[in-house]
Homo-oligomer: A and B are copies of this chain.
Amino acid sequence: MVHNYLQHNTNTQVCINYYHFIKVLAFAHTDMRPKIYLFGDSITEESFSAGGWGAALAHHFSRTADVVLRGFSGYNTRWAMKVLDKVFPAEMNVGNGRAPLAVTVFFGANDACLPDRCSAFQHVPIDEYRQNLHAIVAYLKNRWPSTHVILITPPPIDEVAHLPERTNEAARNYAKACVAVARECGAPVVDLWSRMHQFPDWGKAYLRDGLHLTLGGNKIVFEEVIGKLKEVGLSLETLPADLPFTDAMDPNDPLKVFED
């Protein structure tokens, strides 16, 4: 198109300006690193606290990918739908803007709030939860067909902690719905509810207040997400480091590695 335009247009200055803009545009968003977005509720928002699963991901990929925090405490899938355009602005993928490597979508803990308790305003009926998850996956895959959208189910609820808004049975149903959506969409899924239940003492080991994660719970989420990323081909073995490692330098001529 640039070529045709240069042929047809007689306004040289505009030509130059236009060409300049196209050139700039071609490089727009040329950040050095691909990105992994973490989209979810409070379990995502607090994932960069000490020992958190988000920070662990960022540390793991510290020389290869940016891990971008998009956690919104208290949000359910209904509100997530309302903010998709802001969280993933359409302009992200113009020019050389790279599609994210992956997006984790981690909602359900608030959708599953009981509809007759104080947090009823956060409750989303399970059919709508399912539809919303479908829509979120479709939105992201439509935007970026190459991006791996990884669903994460809500964790179990430890009712010993007396969370009046939640039951483990409800969490289980929402987790099942999430797994079903993933199957229907062909998306990888971390079934956190089931994974945690494999350990008899899961309530104490993985949850600090009946819902949010302990260090052990964070470790499970980190390992499960790393595992899913690896399954779809995203690992330190496959992702190139963007700048030379020191041990690749010749001690007698360290600057040589920076020559292109």
Q: List A residues at the B interface (Cβ < 8 Å).
A: 1, 4-5, 8-9, 11, 14, 17-18, 21-22, 24-25, 27-32, 45-46, 48-52, 54-56, 58-59, 62-63, 66, 68-69, 71-75, 78-79, 82-83, 86-87, 89-92, 94-95, 97, 120-122, 215, 242-243, 245-247, 249, 251-252, 254-255, 258
Q: Which residues of B sit under 8 angstroms from A78, Cβ to Cβ?
A: 255
Q: List 14 A-B contacts (CB under 8 A).
A: A1-B17, A21-B25, A24-B94, A27-B94, A28-B29, A29-B29, A30-B89, A45-B63, A48-B59, A50-B55, A50-B56, A51-B51, A55-B55, A121-B249
Nearest chain-B residue to A42 (Cβ)? B246
Q: How far is the CA of A63 from the CA of B70 in the complex (A)?
A: 8
Known: A9-B11, A55-B58, A243-B72. A252 touches B45 (CB 8 A): no
With A25-B24, A51-B51, A69-B62 as known contacts, state yes or no: A89 contacts B31, CB within 8 Å: yes
In the complex, are the beta carbons of B254 and A86 less than 8 A apart? no
Residues of B within 8 A of A4 (CB): 14
B63, A59: Cβ atoms under 8 Å?
Answer: no
Enumerate chain B residues within 8 angstroms of A121, measured Cβ to Cβ.
Answer: 249, 251-252, 254
Is B1 in contact with A8, judged by CB distance below 8 angstroms?
no
CB-CB nearest in chain B for A254: B121
A255 cross-chain contacts in B, Cβ below 8 A: 78-79, 82
A249 to B30, CA, bound (A): 37
A28 in complex: contacting residue of B73, B83, B94, CB < 8 Å: B94
Alpha-carbon distance A16/B1, docked complex (angstroms): 12
A50 to chain B, nearest CB (A): 4
